[in-house]
Amino acid sequence: MSNKNINRLFEALTPKTEQKEKMFHNILVQSQNENTKHRGFNVVKRLRPALLATVLMVCLTTTAFAAAYMGLDEAFMKFLNPVNHEQAEHLSNGAYVVGKQVANENGSLTIKQVIGDSNLTYILMDFTAPADTVLDSARYRFEYPMITSNQQSHSMDFKLLDDGNSNDNKISMVMSVLTKTSMAGQTVHFKFNDVQAADPFPGVFETVLPGSWETAFKLDFKEYSHLYQIDQNITMFGYEAVLKTISVSPIAISLKIESTLVKEIDKAAGKPQEIGKNEYLDKYPITINYIDGTSETTSIFTGEYQGDLISGQILTIKTFENVINDKEITSIVFFDKKVQINN
């Protein structure tokens, strides 16, 4: 979808002020009608202020809940680039508004929204530096982000977004967090240290704004994933394994494999092979087949790979530059196994 179409879509999904006012008016009218039915009873007259207060409280609570899931931020929408209106609505329904801000003398960090699936969490954030600072580098990140959660490990990265003005003191970024299981519903503590900047790769990151920004918030997004239980034998580089599950969402596809020969599989896969600037061959590729007859293969590695020699478990997570049309997937091929996907 083009940026113009995304802007129109974003406007269509955003509730209008007059719609909110009409909803509130209807609640009040309904309340008055209910009271009119019992006009002859003094007890109802005495309870009327309490009833109105209750209605107002329910309205405010409902509004606050709706605000937490009010839709996808426009910057998020452009980052994800949904394939159609239906997918944009689906992505919007899963987004959770955080709205937390922390600041020190070197700038303020605003956590705006979170989305995610079974293994990938995206966090949309804005950073505003002091007024006399210009943030115009090609890449930005926090040097040592620290996450405290119930996960054993986190793999993190930052993507600088185009906010339309590269010569001011504000940047927007998406932080990606890859984990073994979903982070949905968890209250997580974050500590972001030292804003760093770099030129395009192979530019080296250097600290431009020292300091730390610390906060905790709930990752109350609605998961996009659909889990498929496979439990089928496969062969990886000539070694036996079992494909346990495939988790499919618009933002990632995750596969869990079990084998008593993880060490041998890793050795046979070989060392990472660089095929371009900061690009490496995917040693465990998947091919995604779509209903229209097209397909795509993850030839370049993006995402995460974990091989546990003790438990005999392998987890590979495939992420994408933009979202994929998961509702149109018919099958996924992994090594010698073709798995049918029923949407």
Q: What's residue 278's pLDDT?
A: 87
Residue 287 CA to its chain's centroid (Å): 23
Of 54 and 196, more confident: 196
Q: What's residue 11's pLDDT?
A: 54
Q: What's residue 342's pLDDT?
A: 87
Of 50 and 195, more confident: 195
Q: What's residue 343's pLDDT?
A: 75
Place 93 in a pLDDT band, splitting at 50, 70 and 90: very high
**Which amino acid type is present at position 205?**
F
Instruction: Verify cis geometry, omega within 30 degrees of 0, for the bond prior to 202.
Output: yes
Q: Are strands 187-198 and 206-218 parallel, antiparallel or unpaired?
A: antiparallel
Q: What's residue 144's pLDDT?
A: 87
**Which amino acid type is present at position 252?**
A
Per-chain mean pLDDT for the chain = 85
What gap in Å lies between CA 165 and CA 134, rounded to an integer? 11
pLDDT single digits (tens) 25-54: 444 444 444 444 433 333 333 334 444 444
pLDDT single digits (tens) 114-132: 999 999 999 999 999 999 9
* DSSP state, residue 62: H
Of 66 and 235, more confident: 235
Place 3 in a pLDDT band, splitting at 50, 70 and 90: low
What gap in Å lies between CA 237 and CA 335, rounded to an integer? 8
Place 24 in a pLDDT band, splitting at 50, 70 and 90: very low
Place 150 in a pLDDT band, splitting at 50, 70 and 90: confident
pLDDT single digits (tens) 198-239: 999 999 999 999 999 999 999 999 999 999 999 999 999 999
SS3 331: strand
**Which amino acid type is present at position 215?**
T
On whether the CB atoms of residues 318 and 286 are closer than 8 A, the answer is: yes
Of 4 and 203, more confident: 203
Q: What's residue 40's pLDDT?
A: 34
Q: What's residue 282's pLDDT?
A: 97
pLDDT single digits (tens) 173-193: 999 999 999 999 999 999 999
Residue 74 has pLDDT above 90, yes or no: yes
Of the chain, the end-to-end C-alpha distance in Å amounts to 23
What gap in Å lies between CA 197 and CA 331, rounded to an integer? 41
How many residues does this entry show for the chain? 343
pLDDT single digits (tens) 287-313: 999 999 999 999 999 999 999 999 999
Averaged pLDDT for residues 227-254: 98
Q: Does domain 95-218 have CATH number 3.30.360.10?
A: no
On whether the CB atoms of residues 232 and 239 are closer than 8 A, the answer is: no
SS3 117: coil
Residue 115: closest CA among 159, 72, 52: 72
Residue 61 has pLDDT above 70, yes or no: no
Averaged pLDDT for residues 161-169: 92
SS3 144: coil
Q: What's residue 37's pLDDT?
A: 40
**What are the percentages of helix, strand and coil residues in the chain, rounded to 5?**
25, 40, 35
Residue 61 in tokens: 């609570």
What gap in Å lies between CA 174 and CA 56, rounded to an integer? 36
CA dihedral 211, 217, 220, 225 (to 10 degrees): 30
Extents of the domains making up the chain: 3-68, 95-218, 226-340
Question: Which residues contact residue 333 at a Cβ distance below 8 angstroms, ignoring those fewer than 6 apart?
Answer: 286, 287, 289, 339
Of 5 and 147, more confident: 147
Give the angle 294-300-302 at the CA atoms, nearest 5°: 105
